[in-house]
């Protein structure tokens, strides 16, 4: 099985970096024999906020993370970054968890390929 780690750094809206990273992560997660992990750092921690309200027709990062979870993707959210933005575990979308730098280090070492957005 080939494993991929995506590290996202940008806010969910405003730039399309997190959006494009999740588009690619979801496309890979749908393939057989491919494992995907996503780690949200910095402003990307807010990608995992539950209850995002968007204009009709606008892409939803919350939905994209949900799709990744349904395809067995793992999503960690930097705990330090969560604290800096006032996020708690109760604020997170289902399938996302509070992560640590040690977890990210382990995921990085285990990944066949690391992509940073």
110: helix, coil or strand? Answer: helix
Which pLDDT score is estimated for 114?
98
CATH number for the region 2-116 comes to: 3.40.1260.10
Q: How far is CA 39 from the centre of its chain?
A: 5
- Spatial distance between the Cα atoms of 89 and 37, rounded to a whole number of angstroms: 18
> Looking at residues 26-54, what average pLDDT do you find?
96
Q: Determine the average pLDDT of the residues in 23-36.
A: 97
What's the per-residue H, E or C state across 9-67? Answer: CCCCCCCCHHHHHHHHHHHHHCCCCEEEEEEECHHHHHHHECCCCCCCCCCCHHHHHHH
Is the pLDDT at 56 greater than 90? The verdict is no
The arithmetic mean of pLDDT across residues 25-34, rounded, is 97
Whole-model pTM? Answer: 0.95
Per-residue confidence band for 65, with pLDDT thresholds at 50, 70 and 90: very high
Token output for 86:
């006032």
């Amino acid at each position: 099985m080939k494993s991929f780690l995506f590290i996202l750094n940008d806010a969910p809206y405003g730039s399309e970096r997190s959006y494009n990273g999740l588009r690619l992560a979801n496309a890979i997660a749908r393939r057989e024999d491919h494992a995907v992990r996503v780690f949200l750092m910095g402003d990307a921690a807010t990608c995992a906020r539950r209850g995002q309200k968007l204009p009709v027709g606008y892409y939803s990062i919350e939905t994209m993370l949900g799709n990744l979870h349904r395809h067995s993707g793992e999503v960690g959210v930097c705990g330090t970054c969560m604290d800096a933005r006032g996020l708690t575990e109760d604020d997170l979308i289902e399938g996302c968890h509070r992560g640590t730098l040690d977890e990210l280090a382990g995921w990085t070492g285990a990944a066949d390929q690391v992509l940073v957005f």
